[in-house]
A and B are shown apart, each in its own frame.
Chain A
Amino acid sequence: MLERLGHTVDFPAGQTCCGQMHWNTGYQAEALPLVPRFVAQFRHAEAVVVPSSSCVAMMRDHYPIMAKEIGDARLIAEVDQLLPRVYEFSEFLTRCLGLTDVGAYYPHRVTYHASCHGLRNLGLADGPLDLLRSVKGINLIEIENMDRCCGFGGTFAVKNADVSSAMLAEKTTAVLNTGAEVCTACDNSCLMGIQGALHRQRTGVRTVHLAEILAGSEEAPR
């Protein structure tokens, strides 16, 4: 999709993880080395596009403090310079490129779940919905309590499996109530949980990342 819009895309092979799982679970020491690693992998990019809102929130909210904790003046400066160029995928399209119509075609019934970190930490607001509304052929159906957490929460899903399951049950009920064939979001981790429950319940409803929808075109429909 990015290439269709005329951009040159690179995927630095040395990238691994932003460190969110470690940081948010309390393993700060394990997360710290991933900051200089990220900077080393991406420092030359004009823009870093991340298809996961919570990873971007992790970087924006924590990398500056983490760099300070490491105490390396050069790293602090590099993080400062790099972070403004790091975008969540939908944010890159709507805010950096100023696009809502990316020429996509997706002839399906779709509902959108607003992932917490995208909504609250990044302030994505209606950006992703604007992108979806501009997709040709789409039938977009609003979900009830769009902004309520799906229950994933990283290690929360295993540490508090019962509560997480109850939260997820409300979310999947809301998805099913829309009658959509596809549930989308800007965060694969939410989608992994929602998809896992929808599959367990044999609902036939699929989850796809927003990028997969926007990648569809009339020439190559999905």
Chain B
Amino acid sequence: MSSFNILLDPKTSPTFPIAARAALGDTQLRKNVRHATEVIQNKRARVVGEMPDWQQLRETGKQIRQHTMAHLDFYLEEFERNCTRAGGKVHWARDGEEAKRIATQLVKEHVSPDSPEVIKIKSMTTEEIHLNLALEAAGIRVYETDLAELIIQLGHDQPSHIVVPALHKNRQQIREIFQREMNLPALGEKPQDLADAARRFLREKFLRVDTAVSGANFLIAETGSVTIVESEGNGRMCLTLPDTLITIAGIDKVLPRFVDLEVMLQLLPRSATGERMNPYNSIWTGVRPGDGPRNFHVILMDNARTEVLADAEGRQTLNCIRCGACQNACPVYRQTGGHAYGSVYAGPIGAILTPQLQQLHHAQTLPYASSLCGACYEVCPVKINIPEVLIHLRNKVVKQKGPLNPEAIAMKTMGAIFRSERRFRAAQRLGRIAETPLVRKDGSGEGWIGWLPGLLGGWTQVRDLREMPKETFRDWWEKRSSHGR
């Protein structure tokens, strides 16, 4: 079985085709991924199908997100003002390093120096910057409390999905991890047994640890509120029991007004988990005496989001509300799972988000990790046209790679052929001559090519290619026309 214990970092990960090949060889992984994505897809289709106004909700969702991005500075300042007025403290971080520095510092200010530890809610933003590593390096013990994140953490693994980060593991694999890490040799393998083990393992930590770290699903500018949607109640535990709560949010997470939640809270759960509503949504504003943490910090992190914003085509990527529907719908993700994308953001959204959040030259193969089938765009609750952004990024990759490589030269040559009828006819004739040594007759006397050289060799891995016809449509048409119809 392949192991992905390495950090998911585009700077050091193998390219997508290489990593995908490894994933394709892991039959258990592929089985787990196929099963999980099929279950969520079917659930999603059912609960989306019962909404007669789904397309209207998507349109409004898209317009809210577009509007937010066009006024992002205004709404962030409004959020800061209102959150601060309610007793929260807002910090700004230009990049992941700065966010980690601020978070580590804040934790150190609040935790007891004898046993520095924090409980954590699943957060893709903190995964993006590998916050846990920074906290651990500062001597702070981190407990992930979402069941899937706990599986990942105890299994020394990496998340492979935005919403269901351990979907690549099955119950036997999870049991082995829990047996080993929780020291429960007699643990059963029923999902209920495993969830109960997690409940017992974490309950004591919820009641003891006095500092929590979270992400945010939405920040509300109008009120300074923060929203977290979740299923298990671990989020509520982290948000309400500790003395100190540190929320790290990308600057893209803001919504203009409270009432905008009525749209997002319809789009997100149905798209993400196929539920009509998440079991729990928490909305809180600053600090409330007698209810929840006494210290509340929000770190607003840029980490290249403003670079995405500056790209007219790419900026729609920021509209993403992290539902993962595109991952479940994607026929490529279905085959490879998430780790092959070399980033905590996998699947179609990862293929456009990672190259834009990281320097593109670290992720040149990701925009090509798609057949452009459009299934992602079809399910996106805020109508991000992922195929169009992929094509836009491919154009950037081509420019970055320059004209002096075999692919670019071949493309240029074909471009020249397509610009001239004479060259096009000549190319068809030449093609027939050039393929001759590769063509073999099959049992019925048809000519087929079973092996192609170089770049085209990928085609003939599992496919034959029919020889070019002796008479092209063009030849036939012209002969027919000259003989009269």
Q: Is the CB of B458 within 8 A of A157?
A: yes
Contact assessment for B335 and A167 in the assembled complex, using a CB-CB cutoff below 8 Å: yes
Interface of A is mostly: helix
Q: Would B398 and A27 count as touching, CB distance under 8 A?
A: yes
Closest residue on chain B to residue A165 by CB atoms: B462
Answer yes or no: B377 CB below 8 A from chain A CBs: yes
Q: Min CB distance, A143 to chain B, in Å? A: 15
Determine whether the beta carbon of A162 is less than 8 Å from that of B21.
yes
Query: Given A26, A30, A121, A167, which contacts B412 in the complex, CB threshold below 8 Å?
Result: A30
Q: Is A14 an interface position by the 8 A CB rule?
A: yes
Report yes or no: A149 in contact with B463, Cβ–Cβ below 8 A.
Answer: no
Q: Name the A residues within 8 Å of B106 (CB-CB).
A: none
Chain B residues contacting A25 (CB-CB under 8 Å) are 394, 398, 411
How many angstroms between the C-alpha atoms of A143 and B396 in the bound complex? 38
In the complex, the answer to whether B398 meets A26 with C-beta atoms within 8 Å is yes
Q: Which of B402-424 contact A (CB under 8 A)?
A: 408, 411-412, 414-415, 417-421, 424
Interfacial chain B residues near A179, Cβ < 8 Å = none
The residue of chain B having its C-beta at the shortest distance from the C-beta of A167 within the complex is B331
Q: Which of A129-161 contact B (CB under 8 A)?
A: 147-149, 151-161
- Given A16-B418, A16-B421; A159-B458 close (CB under 8 Å): yes
Which of B17, B375, B462 touches A159 (beta carbons < 8 Å)? B17
Q: Does B368 touch A at the CB level, under 8 Å?
A: yes
Please give, as numbers and ranges, the residues of chain A lying within 8 Å of B396 by CB-CB distance: 26
Given known A16-B424, A120-B375, A199-B442, contact A163–B336 (CB-CB < 8 A): yes
Question: Which B residues contact A (CB, under 8 angstroms)?
Answer: 16-17, 20-21, 24, 331-332, 335-336, 365, 367-375, 377-378, 388, 391, 393-398, 408, 411-412, 414-415, 417-421, 424, 442, 448, 450, 455-466, 473-474, 477-478, 485
Apart from A16-B421, A30-B411, what are 20 other A-B pairs with CB-CB below 8 Å?
A13-B474, A16-B420, A22-B411, A26-B393, A26-B394, A27-B411, A34-B419, A116-B372, A116-B373, A120-B377, A121-B374, A152-B371, A154-B372, A156-B372, A157-B458, A157-B459, A160-B17, A161-B17, A163-B335, A197-B462
- Measured CB to CB, the residues of A under 8 A from B are 3, 11, 13-14, 16-17, 19, 21-28, 30-31, 33-34, 37, 61, 116-117, 120-121, 147-149, 151-169, 192-193, 195-197, 199-200
